Amino acid sequence: MTRIDATFDRLRAEGKKAFVSYVMAGDPDYETARDVVLGLPAAGVDIIELGVPFTDPMADGSTIQLAGQRALEAGMTLERTLNIVRELRAQDTTTPVVLMGYYNPIYNRGVDQFLIDAKEAGVDGLLVVDLPPEEDTELCIPAQKAGLNFIRLATPTTDNKRLPKVLQNTSGFVYYVSITGITGAASASAELVAPEVARIKSQTELPIIVGFGIKTPEAAQDIAAVADGAVVGSAIVERIARGDSVSDVLSYVADLAAGAHRA
């Protein structure tokens, strides 16, 4: 059982939904990003998604793209991203960490070496947006064998013919993208999300976490109420981009987490 599995078991026992937060590693610099990550568990975050900066983030909107650019300009690398995870593990051995990003940095490091390093650092799962199920032998299956969950995205355009393929070899949870398009777009609607979550649940026992377009505690609560939890990314990254202090960012995250946990 991975930390992700254990976290969902705990939340189910407590009758609570999950709150997942995304931050970009190294944005706007290593120290600030590290301090935010180290503060997330105490702010109520159940699972941390840690973005790995990449030069061509094709699935991300401008907010996340700019965060990645700031991180790269500040000297962020895959190795330094793993170092943030190591620093978290020095004080927290239970909160799951999912690395979210693109295949190129992993490929450049070498899949076998990356998986050894990620496992050693304390990573629990991977969400690699540009590796479709047809490429499972590249990373997904080796990651599972190494004890890491491999999380997939499902979207409003993932029809019933495609869905079984997306769910194939997926573990940990399914990340349902509530809005068609890039990150940071529009606002999520619980009314529209609910039947889609039910459709996916009819084909998997994995938890369904919903992200994109959640910016307020109320929205986090509404979305978590119709799923197994909510993800917030761009709205947190926007606070970091405008120069909010670490304590202010974590206070905002705590409000979002409280909203999701009320669901």
Model pLDDT for residues 227-253, shown as the tens digit of each residue? 999 999 999 999 999 999 999 999 999
Is the pLDDT confidence value at 181 over 70?
no
What average pLDDT does the chain have? 95
Which listed residue (9, 14, 46, 60) is catalytic?
60
User: Which of 38-42, 146-150, 182-186, 226-230 comes out lowest in average pLDDT?
Assistant: 182-186
Q: Give the H/E segment covering residue 51.
A: strand 47-51
Per-domain boundaries in the chain: 3-262
CA distance 86 to 100: 16
Count CB atoms within 10 A of the CB of residue 255.
15
Active-site residue, selected from the candidate residues 46, 49, 124, 222: 49
Identify the residue whose tokens are 């650092």.
Answer: 121
The yes-or-no verdict on residue 128 having pLDDT over 70 is: yes
Q: Is the pLDDT of residue 185 over 70?
A: no
pLDDT in tens, 66-109: 999 999 999 999 999 999 999 999 999 999 999 999 999 999 99
CA distances (Å), origin 135, targets 141, 142, 220: 9, 11, 33
Give catalytic status of residue 46 as yes or no: no
- CATH pick for 3-262 out of 2.60.40.10, 3.20.20.70, 1.20.1290.10, 3.40.50.970: 3.20.20.70
* pLDDT computed for residue 211 by the predictor: 93
| Strands across the sheet containing 229-232 | 149-150, 125-128, 97-101, 47-51, 18-24, 229-232, 208-211, 174-177, 152-154
Q: Which amino acid is at 181?
A: G
Q: Does 49 qualify as catalytic in the annotation?
A: yes
What is the residue type of 90?
A
